[in-house]
Structure 1
């Protein structure tokens, strides 16, 4: 099982909290960029990677819904020709409400996209304004209606929480509105202020107040309880799904399975040896130049040692409800989890437990995951 990630680093406007590689106001470069994506795929094929067919494809960004359906279809056709797309491949496109139309969604569906991830963030106009989003609440409902008319039966929403001024009542209101619209998947992201973003500058100057850890934790627990009562499985720290509707592409990441990345700033991972990670430059000029010279713009960043691979297996696996299989860990690394990390497990205490042959983190452990996971490093 292998995945393909396609990075589309173009946006109508840069959100003040976003630290991903993306460019606002550069959509005139989209035709050249779209052509380059197929060229990048051919470079990977010449290298012999990933060496297996593709079970998942994910168009992320940026704002992938700025791409025309014809361009999306061209990438998928080339990926199928070069690597083979499995018959039941999950093909996801991230989309922002306000960038869609019924005609465009029909085009994406005809091109092969079968899963849509909508960047909703909030259903409240004042929260959307605070977060710098360009769409309005009405755009969200309209996009969902169009998506279903176009034949999409696998929809996911992204929501944000924990920011200053958002009340618990408003957050639960967002969750209720989301559930009422019957998505198959929900991703909930607590707002964090990342270095180098406009929000970071505002916070530094005392012009931005952020939510407290206590508020974040309370909302995290509320979401787990509320969504559980509405049939959603909390299958990863930030992700919930109806039974059988987990995002399979994200599972590729968390299970440390191979994936290739195309597009400026895209990362790739291959499981050969103990694993190796590659990355394309997050600079369009450099990216275009490498392709013009007949080179793969993705370069090898690092190779993992056995110990590094063990740590990353736990780092990623403990994010998920399925956890880490003791038997698989033993078979792959020649050592059990407890034998490899006795001190770390002792420090983690009741936040991590072994049940039915799998190591899992508790809900309370997930709340302080970033702190706890440092025990393995």
Structure 2
């Protein structure tokens, strides 16, 4: 946070930031406070717009959402990005220097060749053998310069391939949730933008998934076991999504499945298959070797409507999910039940 605020201004913003956190029942740790302070300050237009959209859609602000905002809008440059940029600059600098040297050598060679040809074609008193030797020396120097350029080009090509691989890995790491291997919200938004750019009227079904009573499960068995459960459930969810679909980790124990070009009935059938698949999973504690309680999920299915923005659609999907929870959990609810 870099501002030219007075002490009074900073104090006022800090108080408003704390009020924002309290209103949304968020802990005042550095990430949450930084996001709230940036939003209150109003300097970062993209961040403010996103927060306003989420507020309008009544999105629940939790630590997961705040970390997403922090990562997407405040931490603009990672160490990995800096290292990649530095390495690219090094490659370009070396290649540029070698190319400049080769260019100078070519110009000098052409000059020596031109002078030599003039001397040989004239009645100059200069010994032709000396002229030919100069031309041969210039040719050797040119060949050496070209070989250096060739070697540098080959080295640069190899380094560029390594960089391309690292860039792909970095891009993937930004798109994928580290724990579950599912796509994250940033990647989800990129895919949705691409789908709707291709066809603003495109039919998109969403299946919101929430693990039943998972907070109590974490409390009883610990977060390490909870993370294993999340990972296994995510893998099961992903198994029911074809290549065109998008399985997303939307929150702590919340998932979202996006299905383009799928109607409500088909999406509901897929949701039921996912529910049954997760219900069949069995887990055993690696320490006690005892069976853990059965894990179930609640699901809500909706279709995107072009007249609503994406945040409103996700909020409506969460409302349908709430219906499934209120009806007893471990079941699928559709928007027709609202």
Normalising by structure 1, we get a TM-score of 0.20
Q: Which is richer in strand?
A: 1
State the structure with more CA Rg. Answer: 2
Q: Which is richer in helix?
A: 2
Normalising by structure 2, we get a TM-score of 0.22
